[in-house]
Amino acid sequence: EAAVTQSPRSKVAVTGGKVTLSCHQTNNHDYMYWYRQDTGHGLRLIHYSYVADSTEKGDIPDGYKASRPSQENFSLILELASLSQTAVYFCASSAGGRSQNTLYFGAGTRLSVL
Amino acid sequence: QQKVQQSPESLIVPEGGMASLNCTFSDRNSQYFWWYRQHSGEGPKALMSIFSNGDKKEGRFTAHLNKASLHVSLHIKDSQPSDSALYFCAVRRQGGRALIFGTGTTVSVSP
């Protein structure tokens, strides 16, 4: 099965500080995604990437930046963390081409902004 | 913007019973649908996909798709305690490969 590894698994950050969440996949997948999970909102798409060195905005990109320096790595950056960004963040990857495009998720990063 | 609504929010099912989960989507052009399951403390994992109208069965799980009524459902037969989890339906986002998820249904299987 696809392997997506997120780090750290949990983090406490201060309001106004910078936070970087990392994601590494070993599936040779072209596509990678960042979602956040909040109770009552399900999973919402923040940023995604189809190829290294290129990122796209998802449905809730405000306050977040993304970076894809290689096919395997995808980071989510909070330049100025705010209380409203407290959530669980999930990274996912999927194959390209004519595949079914099932998304494979990591175990998540629980972020608390104080 | 595409939207996905799930019902019920939560469900209690006796062990061995049938659980039925529902999902409605807003975009009539949607074509590709998934059901995901998330156990506590883990990431979501794909249960099954369905792309054509009708039923698709995988083991104890059956998905049903009706594009005309904008509805997809999941039925879990012979529910087990290990089926206790948060279930999401998801639809492929228009113009791309990302998925839009519903808000989820929490299923609790009581022994």
Q: What is the pLDDT of residue A41?
A: 76
| Chain B residue at shortest CA distance from A89 | B43
Least confidently predicted of A80-84, B17-21, B92-96: B92-96
Question: What number of C-beta contacts closer than 8 Å exist between A and B?
Answer: 56
Interchain pair B104, A42: CB under 8 A: yes
Of the partner residues B6, B34, B42, the one whose CB lies closest to the CB of residue A102: B34
Hey, is the C-beta of B42 within 8 angstroms of any chain A C-beta? yes
Give the integer Cα–Cα distance in Å for A84 and A31: 27
| Count, residues in chain A | 114
Least confidently predicted of A92-106, B7-21, B90-104: A92-106
Interchain pair A48, B104: CB under 8 A: no
Instruction: Provide the percentage of residues in chain A whose pLDDT is more than 90.
Output: 88
Give the integer Cα–Cα distance in Å for A49 and A57: 9
Bond into A8 cis (ω within 30):
yes
Q: Give the tokens for residue A23.
A: 């994601």
Confidence category of residue B73, pLDDT binned at 50, 70, 90: very high
Confidence category of residue B93, pLDDT binned at 50, 70, 90: confident
- Kindly calculate the radius of gyration of chain A based on its CA atoms and give it in whole angstroms: 13
Average pLDDT over residues B46-68: 95
Q: What is the pLDDT of residue B79?
A: 98
Hey, is the C-beta of B7 within 8 angstroms of any chain A C-beta? no
| The amino acid at A24 | H
Of the partner residues B4, B43, B49, the one whose CB lies closest to the CB of residue A100: B49
Average pLDDT over residues A48-67: 96
Average pLDDT over residues A88-113: 90
Confidence category of residue B2, pLDDT binned at 50, 70, 90: confident
CB B37 within 8 A of CB B86: yes
